[in-house]
Structure 1
Amino acid sequence: MSHPKNTTGSPVAQDTLTTEVDFCNTPISNTGVQMLQVVAGLESRDAIQKARTLASGLGQICRHMHDGLNYGEMVYCDGMETLEFVADSISALLWSVQKGLPSEIAEREQA
């Protein structure tokens, strides 16, 4: 029978996974129905990467709108709705990751 060897390396942590998070309220429903969701079971790293990419794009859109307003251009409601949608998407991705963290799961189980 062989004995396991001692190692000095760090144990490999299992990647956390996303949990289900709904977002984007359906404007024609008064029942709180959500149009979109982050699905459970995706690797958190992928969700964080997507949130980072969306946040970068959101910053670019805001900068463009800011510059346009300084030059006297109009701001349209569709542009503002786009900002809200991207911000909601980022928030849902990050909430999904946070809810999937072991510390968050332990807190929910204790409650």
Structure 2
Amino acid sequence: MITALSAANAYAKMQKAAGIDAGLGGGAPVQGQGGFGDLLKAAMSDAVQTSRTAETQIANQVQGKAELIDVVTAISAAEHSLETVMAVRDQVISAYQEIMRMPI
């Protein structure tokens, strides 16, 4: 289960990886840096890449070319990446629902 703290830490890690200043309010993207959409694209591509790595490790282990610990580690990384993406998705849906409840 993803906690709010682990989701916030994952978001901060993605900001750091994308080179976005973690100042108050986040601010507008700096010249040459992407926005929230680019951050989401990077997170999704990372999740896909870790899933592919896990699949490759599984295939290598079946062929006898990889150790079981490598497979377990790759699967754990893929699971963590997927949980992070799901936590972000849940927060986006929650924010959308909150906006829809606002009176006009």
Shorter-chain TM-score bucket reads: 0.3 to 0.5
Judging by fraction of residues, say which structure has more helix: 2
Larger Rg: 1
Judging by fraction of residues, say which structure has more strand: 1
Asked which structure has the greater RCO (Cα within 8 Å, sep 6+), the reply is 1
